[in-house]
Amino acid sequence: MMPETRSVLVTGGAGFIGSHLAEALLADGKNVVVLDDLSTGQRSRLPKGARFVEGDIRRFDLEGLLKDASVDTILHYAAQIDVRKSVEDPVFDAEVNVLGTIRIAQAALAAGVTQIVFASSGGAIYGDPKGFAADENHPTNPVSPYGVAKLAGEKYLFSLAHETSLVVTALRFANVYGPRQDGRGEAGVIGIWMKKLLEGGECLINGGGDQSRDFVFVGDVVRANLGAAARRIAGVINVGTGVETSVNQLYNLVAAACGTPRPARRGPAKSGEQMRSVLDVTKSRTALGLTTLVALPDGLSRTAAWFRRAPSPA
């Protein structure tokens, strides 16, 4: 009798990061199932070879799907990722990011899943870093409902998996950018700017532009996920570059990648905006083997090349 073939489920697999993950898993020889409600994901991003199931994590029969597809590992990327939307509608944000994550954990335990890799957030959970960079033991001081919900999602996953065989890995990402970016999330400004610059439009910088972030290329995020799944590492791991880039510096790099000297227009600062975010990534180097990362100018060049080929993302 042949042994049962196990699968990997990518929730939110028709989205920006999730679609890259599904593609990489297929290339690695895995059986891949994608669950996405297509509220923001796109069918066109789904890689050939993945089994696609349309459904909302808040209501779908998750346990039935996990058992039917013999899922061994879940990469949980289905989420509400817009910080500003979380402020406008914190109830919806919590329904998706907290209650949806609880349902994933309960179904995983019932179906015998062995690992959940959870897409968490470094910048939104830590708040402004004390000292230069925030490591995994940094105090958690989220200033947005989105950050609160992501932190709650982590806590629920770890508590529900406590004293079980389920391995939970929470990857706390910096600001992820790259091809297929759709303008959501803090790093979404890269996609917004590139689209406008390549179409001859004007870009906006809010405030003085001294706000800083840690920008990590989507390919490095994929490698982090594959490493976490392969090594079955439990706990919290930052995934970023450890390099702090101001909004002004970022705009100059984006404009250079797009081949235009056009300056940005200045607008008023956004009230309550976090000023700094940079992650200490020492643990990801040792635990996940992320010793070499894509430098921001190189990653922006690759992203601009994608926007030139596909200039109209959703």
Residues belonging to the active site = 146
The CA-to-CA distance between both ends of the chain, in Å, stands at 47
Q: How far apart are alpha carbons 291 and 241 in whole angstroms?
A: 10
> What is the CB neighbour count within 10 angstroms for residue 159?
12
Strand partners, 216: 176
Contacts (Cβ under 8 Å, ≥6 apart) of 165: 114
- Which CA distances in Å does 238 have to 118, 134, 205? 12, 9, 27
User: 290, 256 in Cβ contact below 8 A?
Assistant: no
Q: How far apart are alpha carbons 171 and 161 in whole angstroms?
A: 16
Q: How far apart are alpha carbons 30 and 233 in whole angstroms?
A: 19
For the range 179-182, what are the long-range contacts, defined as Cβ-Cβ under 8 Å and sequence gap of 24 or more?
Answer: 179/218, 179/302, 179/303, 179/306, 179/307, 180/16, 180/19, 180/20, 180/45, 180/218, 180/306, 180/313, 181/16, 181/218, 181/303, 181/313, 182/15, 182/16, 182/40, 182/313, 182/314
Our measurement of the distance from residue 285's CA atom to the centroid of its chain's CA atoms, rounded to an integer in Å, reads: 18
